[in-house]
Structure 1
Amino acid sequence: MKTITISSAYVRQTLDGAEALGYDLKKLLRECEIPPQVLTEDRSRVEAAQYFRLVSKLTVLLNDEAMGLLGKPQRIGVSAMMCNAVINCPSVGEAYERSVEYANLLENGFYHQLTLDDNLVTHEIGRRSTSTITNTYIVETTLMSFHRFHSWLANERMPIVQVTLDYPATDYPEEYQFLFFGAAVLFNQPRNSIVYNRSAFDLPNRQNYPSLQSYMERAPMNLFETRVSDKQIAMNVRNLVETSLREKEELPEIEVIAAHLNMHSQTLRRALKKEGTVYQEIKTQTRRDIAIHLLNQKRLSIEEIAAKVAFSEPSAFIRAFKSWTGLTPLTYRKG
């Protein structure tokens, strides 16, 4: 997987269930090699690999795939049973419909409803009045999980038209670019839903029982994996920036990136704007995430890391890193 990081807001929400049950959060974080600053520093971030360790640990510790974030535990094996129940469906649409039926049998937190018309499919997850939904994280990851799994069945990304959420805008807007691939995310809406083009449900199921076994072995990492697509320009741009930093310790100009993608730089700017981002933002996020990864490895000095992410002076890197995470590189490394 390419180097990515997870917002501290997501880490804290992941821990809400364990905190309610009385677990020592700092101890859990230390066991997953996550700096405790994520509990207090809003701008702090953790590597994806660290986050996956935390999710796996909480799932096993609580015997709950929802990590204590729903009204009652969702025991380990529930997701595997759902995947096995749909793996032989001939189309993504049939598999999705069966997944929704299965999810409604759980009667835990959400009720699921699919609405299909000639052009769109809307998957709504409503809040059951008798159940507890602990936080926004479990709403967003439930929608994301349905999208990621059924995209895997198709072996291509199901295009998302929009996502609607029934709560105010969060303080981690950049995470939605990754969660929902740049699709419009609307807040303060009457319902929580994810909307697809109707054609996505006609895609054939290209997976089978052997490939499902491999998929389940990668959980939970597989839910955060991205399927690179020509339609996802921002992800392709990020991959090229990351490659340049790793191989040359250089930040490429947008004209160089555009040439790799066989387009004019102005065309690339417009494409990125359509996906809700700009080139400068992608460069900054990539530098930040690689720096965090290198700091966690603890093999290179601060000066060496500064050079790796294309800073000519360590002092400039230190200032930038503090603006990204709220911490100096040394404080972050010490945890």
Structure 2
Amino acid sequence: MEKTQQITISARMIDHSMAGVRQAGIDLNRLLRKCGIAKELLKQPGARLPLDKVMKLGRYTPIAMQDEMNGLLHKPVALGHFRMMAYAILHAGTLGRALQRAVDFTNLFDNSVQHTFAVEGNQVQITLKRIPGHKIVDNQALDSIMTTLHRFVGWLCNERILLNQVSVDFPAPDYHEEYQYMYYGAPILFNQTHYSISFDRNYLAHKIVQNDASLESYIRRAPLDIYLPLDAGGPITRTVRQLTREAFAEQNTAPTLELISASMQINSQTLRRRLKEEGISFHTLKAQVRRDIAIHHLGNPEASIEQIAAFTGYTEPSAFIRAFKAWTGFTPLQFRKGMEVDEE
């Protein structure tokens, strides 16, 4: 079974995301206790929180606040806002049309930031422009808005949208190390005029592959997908990841390093060394691909755990279940259903 490090999130980033809760006078300590988070950790530089606890907080807090943005913006964002935006863009056909619809939908609400979607030459830029006179309680709100949009539209077409640059319109926060996970290792520029992301135009033609059923699964488990670390890696890593995905799709078995290196027409030891130079092993990369395939199929309620195990190259569902829990911290069933949150 592939072993991975436990997924954790910067405690300082979570502390910033709770600024609106404090301002609203909500009992944050009670919320933290419900999630098993020690309040002292939020103030400790370098402290990290387990993903499952952060996810619980991310589910309880909007209910307590009756605001999907946890009080960080000028006006509350009604519960169900993201769901309606998601359905508004789900059947757009291509990523480009989906992005335009997402921007148009969000701008209807005139709340703290204006979204723009521009194509110049071979580059696409999504920008958040602050609306004069509208408060933003903490800058982390802009991180949340942009990462949610970036991750979601990538999920729509089942692709990592690799960014050429991220521009941030405030100084590097005390959780700045988290940006490498938020944006797949893209270069970050702080103290810029606006908050924006840019990527290659060819992504706009990618087809949307999700449907109503998979969207409901995505929404049920939110905000889990936003927090899952999805590294892009260097050019060799990206090539090996794509070839590994294709191998699974063709035969539902885990490819060997030798098979992938032969496809790339290089020696297996050379490939191993080049992957190491990019900070990853073939073993870890293969586990990441299996995780991605599993997450995609878990969005289909018609796919059984046995079938998904086979798609990821496991002959025994029990081995797949153990591996998936090692990858994400959740069983496939927990991931599919999302966490149960009471509304007390």
TM-score in terms of structure 1 length: 0.70
Work out the CA distance in 1 between the residues paired with 2:110 and 2:205: 28
Task: Please list the CA deviations of residues 23-81 of structure 1 after superposition, one character each: whole Å capped at 9, or x if unmatched.
Answer: 23222211110012123322221111101111111100111100000011001001000
Verify: 1:149 aligned to 2:149, yes or no.
no
Q: CA deviation at 1:182?
A: 0.3
Q: CA deviation at 1:10?
A: 1.1
Verify: 1:271 aligned to 2:278, yes or no.
yes
Amino acid at match of 2:48: R
Verify: 1:22 aligned to 2:25, yes or no.
yes
Q: Partner of 1:263: helix, strand, or coil?
A: helix
Match of 1:45 in 2: 48
Work out the CA distance in 1 between the residues paired with 2:268 and 2:16: 39
Q: Partner of 2:151: helix, strand, or coil?
A: helix
Verify: 1:183 aligned to 2:190, yes or no.
no
Task: Please list the CA deviations of residues 167-198 of structure 1 after superposition, one character each: whole Å capped at 9, or x if unmatched.
Answer: 11222232111100000010011110011111
Q: Which of the residues 158, 165, 169 maps onto 2:168?
A: 165
Work out the CA distance in 2 between the residues paired with 1:2 and 1:138: 28
Amino acid at match of 1:38: L
Q: CA deviation at 1:8?
A: 1.4
Q: Partner of 1:167: helix, strand, or coil?
A: coil
Match of 2:332 in 1: none
Verify: 1:103 aligned to 2:106, yes or no.
yes
Amino acid at match of 1:263: L
Aligned Cα root-mean-square deviation (Å)? 2.6
Q: Which of the residues 133, 138, 142 maps onto 2:136?
A: 133
Verify: 1:112 aligned to 2:118, yes or no.
no
Q: CA deviation at 1:229?
A: 6.1
Q: Do the aligned partners of 1:159 and 1:200 also contact (CA within 8 Å) in 2? A: no
Match of 1:61 in 2: 64
Match of 2:213 in 1: 210
Amino acid at match of 1:34: I
Q: Do the aligned partners of 1:156 and 1:227 also contact (CA within 8 Å) in 2? A: no
Q: Do the aligned partners of 1:70 and 1:108 also contact (CA within 8 Å) in 2? A: yes
Match of 2:246 in 1: none
Q: CA deviation at 1:230?
A: 7.1
- Structure 1 portions without partners, runs of 5+: 238-258, 273-277, 283-335
Greater CA drift, 220-229 or 82-91: 220-229
TM-score in terms of structure 2 length: 0.68
Work out the CA distance in 2 between the residues paired with 1:261 and 1:210: 43
Q: CA deviation at 1:270?
A: 4.2
Work out the CA distance in 1 between the residues paired with 2:106 and 2:23: 25
Amino acid at match of 2:63: V
Work out the CA distance in 1 between the residues paired with 2:218 and 2:112: 26
Q: Do the aligned partners of 1:70 and 1:134 also contact (CA within 8 Å) in 2? A: yes
Q: CA deviation at 1:228?
A: 6.6
The percent of aligned pairs where both chains have the same amino acid is 31
Match of 1:200 in 2: 203
Verify: 1:3 aligned to 2:6, yes or no.
yes
Amino acid at match of 1:19: R
Q: Partner of 1:122: helix, strand, or coil?
A: strand
Work out the CA distance in 1 between the residues paired with 2:23 and 2:160: 36
Verify: 1:84 aligned to 2:87, yes or no.
yes
Moved segments of 4+, more than 4 Å: 226-234, 259-262
Work out the CA distance in 2 between the residues paired with 1:162 and 1:140: 14
Work out the CA distance in 2 between the residues paired with 1:261 and 1:152: 33
Work out the CA distance in 1 between the residues paired with 2:122 and 2:8: 35
Work out the CA distance in 2 between the residues paired with 1:124 and 1:58: 27
Task: Please list the CA deviations of residues 88-121 of structure 1 after superposition, one character each: whole Å capped at 9, or x if unmatched.
Answer: 1110110011000001001111100111022100
The change in CA–CA distance for 1:134 and 1:264 in structure 2 (over 3 A counts) is same
